[in-house]
Structure 1
């Protein structure tokens, strides 16, 4: 079956039960990992009548959706925002009673060129030209290149990388260079890929670049969530059987089920959803087939996030007033890929609360890789002079700083990854398959796409159970 004919990533609507109460016992499943992918898989399975246990190595659920209290602020140390182009996570917020906390963020962002912020909005095709980010010839060439893909940009799903596999034969830089879009590569695509995902256009598939462009083509807006991004996985985890402090080190498939084990524990179930980051999943699941091994070989970019708490009287430059994000192209940076101004995240204009504002500083992949083992003080000393160039006076106005290191920040999306995602999702489960993969490396590198993989894994298990029920079989 071609992937385009597959259902969207929501639960199957069939009313056929996956088991018959009073005749067979309820099927069981273990989910390894309580990030958003694992939690979405567990929630979908539990709602279908499967008995689910979730094992998480950390002390709370959320993975890279990490929210902290910082002074009088609630800040994001990992995933930063949602989008109106998302479907799975907004539905989850409604399910958990959190939808009232969705807030529109400022849609104004800036990209640095020749040392100056150029204000742009993703919803405006004219802003790159009007702001001076692109010259007229470069703007026209980019518009023509993207315009030829207009139907795909407007219609292909934004949370299914596999549906973009037609563009998965060359890198983003090769795709743009063939169309004479070198200037757009330098000042639009490269800062977007590095600032959002800590990836480079030379090593990333054109499929990811065009999927990301789809958010702008549909004029999607950025939103935040009151209580922080981690309020979603925290609330979802409270509805499930989640056991924290339990790292899954090994998954062994047997004819009668699956055995999951770690330090001091062992558990059995009919099925397992392995929703660990790819490096840990690869170690835990040695029974992967060739396609699964390619997916599990996914590398990750790295970043370090500095949350700077500025004094109440600090003001950003006029050119950045009311802006949320600042992207720094590689021609303009040493270490800093992006800044996020939390004042612009929650409302337009600079804060007047008297509590100061938080500025998030995110390092590019290479700079982060060189500093993951450095002290907080050394990282701050290395990075602050560059931040000062964009935010004059900030060095003297910092009240506090929180440093968060991400050795696995975002999964890479090399050429061929979208095709592998499509192949994995479209193939029917093997007759004796009991282990199913989920996680951000199985899709595009953002939270909505990761959540969708949890639903895909749950759907695959439910199809297997329904097929067994029709055949008169039951979990052993």
Structure 2
């Protein structure tokens, strides 16, 4: 019998399992899919190293970077070129991501009037200091309306189109109509002054290394997590359809909010309702392997709504990290709007590929002229609805009294790998501090 069962083998669950293992505990991870790592997934094909999910790692992801160093992967995080671009009226405008303010002042993307209006965003820069993991509940006071509703009341149509909404589309593949104003504050915090990093051998190399040292069971469909006076029981079904009931002293549940609300038996109605308010949406990403490397120096092109209705961003992977594509060849990752992905999630991959290639060619003619092959990946992505940040502090406080069952995952904060990692580590630390395991503590 394991000391702790971790439900969910994404970045949050793996971080928790790692911390608990270092604390001297035996851990078993139960993961519903066929592999661990969640959105940190990598495929190799014809000499291309293709990240299927998470695109890049800002240098501000300090917790993830520290964990990578702890497992001997500090040198595997390599810097890439950070040129952030935006399309307007068929022209691609480049911004130096490491000197963003200076680039914005000199860019032709915005009119002189819009540049002068940027001063209106100065208060948001100050407020963004609250949009860190620890202080996010304080940022909840600004979680009263969607980003676009706020922008329409305070900014010109030009800044709404080419700054706030385009940033939300480009970074999170969702619209400012549904995203909270706090999401934009958090983006400022996470990307201002950041460099972009990538794992040398692909995103999946990190969870693969992190998974060493404890047992991981994939294709494990968990039905119930029930806490008793002497331990926790976890009911699940394996890949062959066999039912299991495992016992442990404690459990970390690091699953999407709606799943957590479903499987954790002892949960009050308010917490259950909070978790189900976190929207579990669909995201489709297409990878395009090119027979010739494009001449563009950009790393990531954001696509505003006026340039295309559902194409949100184009990542030039060969600029992200070395050896992502064979010499003189190129690799693109194309992000599609979540609402479009929801409507087309059951379409055949060939149909999606054809639609994406046509869309890219419409936005940047000739970019995909020498396509060698395409890949289509689907995943589930959580999005906070307006009001979630406002109630985040209450939710976290309600978790402080938990003992044997600790919650982690994207629903605990903003949805990104850094904060997911932090929720896993903190859930593990709370367990280690309960006294359930004697003197064993994390190292």
Tell whether the structures are fold-level matches, with TM greater than 0.5.
yes
Supply the distance in 2 between the matched residues of 1:107 and 1:394 (Cα, whole angstroms). Answer: 19
Report how many residues are paired. Answer: 432
Range 457-466 or range 227-236, more displaced: 457-466
Among candidates 388, 392, 396, match of residue 417 of structure 1: 388
**TM-aligned CA distance change 1:137 to 1:291, over 3 Å:** farther
Question: Which residue does the alignment assign to 2:240?
Answer: none
Among candidates 91, 95, 108, match of residue 70 of structure 2: 95
Supply the distance in 2 between the matched residues of 1:392 and 1:463 (Cα, whole angstroms). Answer: 58
Supply the distance in 2 between the matched residues of 1:315 and 1:50 (Cα, whole angstroms). Answer: 49
Supply the distance in 2 between the matched residues of 1:40 and 1:243 (Cα, whole angstroms). Answer: 16
1:369 aligns with 2:342: yes
Among candidates 249, 258, 270, match of residue 270 of structure 1: 249
Among candidates 377, 396, 400, match of residue 373 of structure 2: 400
Report the TM-score when normalising by structure 2: 0.90
1:305 aligns with 2:275: no
**TM-aligned CA distance change 1:63 to 1:110, over 3 Å:** same
Cα distance, 1:336 vs structure 2? 1.2
Gapped regions of structure 2 (runs ≥ 5): 238-242
1:148-182 deviation line (CA, Å, top 9, x unaligned):
24444357536764352232223222332332343
Cα distance, 1:125 vs structure 2? 1.4
**TM-aligned CA distance change 1:124 to 1:347, over 3 Å:** farther
Cα distance, 1:121 vs structure 2? 3.1
**TM-aligned CA distance change 1:156 to 1:262, over 3 Å:** closer
Cα distance, 1:421 vs structure 2? 2.6
Question: Which residue does the alignment assign to 2:182?
Answer: 207
**TM-aligned CA distance change 1:328 to 1:252, over 3 Å:** same
Supply the distance in 2 between the matched residues of 1:157 and 1:420 (Cα, whole angstroms). Answer: 16
Report the TM-score when normalising by structure 1: 0.84
1:383-418 deviation line (CA, Å, top 9, x unaligned):
221111344334541111111112x1x311222212
Contact 2:199 2:321 in 1 (8 A): no
Contact 1:303 1:365 in 2 (8 A): yes
Question: Which residue does the alignment assign to 1:330?
Answer: 305
**TM-aligned CA distance change 1:259 to 1:352, over 3 Å:** closer
Question: Which residue does the alignment assign to 2:362?
Answer: 389
Contact 2:83 2:96 in 1 (8 A): yes
1:53 aligns with 2:24: no
Supply the distance in 2 between the matched residues of 1:210 and 1:389 (Cα, whole angstroms). Answer: 32
Structure 2 residue matching 1:249: 3-state secondary structure: strand
Contact 1:199 1:301 in 2 (8 A): no
Contact 1:205 1:415 in 2 (8 A): yes
1:68 aligns with 2:64: no
Supply the distance in 2 between the matched residues of 1:40 and 1:351 (Cα, whole angstroms). Answer: 30
Supply the distance in 2 between the matched residues of 1:159 and 1:116 (Cα, whole angstroms). Answer: 40
Cα distance, 1:425 vs structure 2? 2.5
Contact 2:256 2:280 in 1 (8 A): no
The CA RMSD measured in Å over matched residues stands at 2.5
**TM-aligned CA distance change 1:284 to 1:428, over 3 Å:** closer
Cα distance, 1:439 vs structure 2? 0.9
1:191 aligns with 2:191: no
Question: Which residue does the alignment assign to 2:435?
Answer: 465
Among candidates 107, 112, 120, match of residue 136 of structure 1: 112
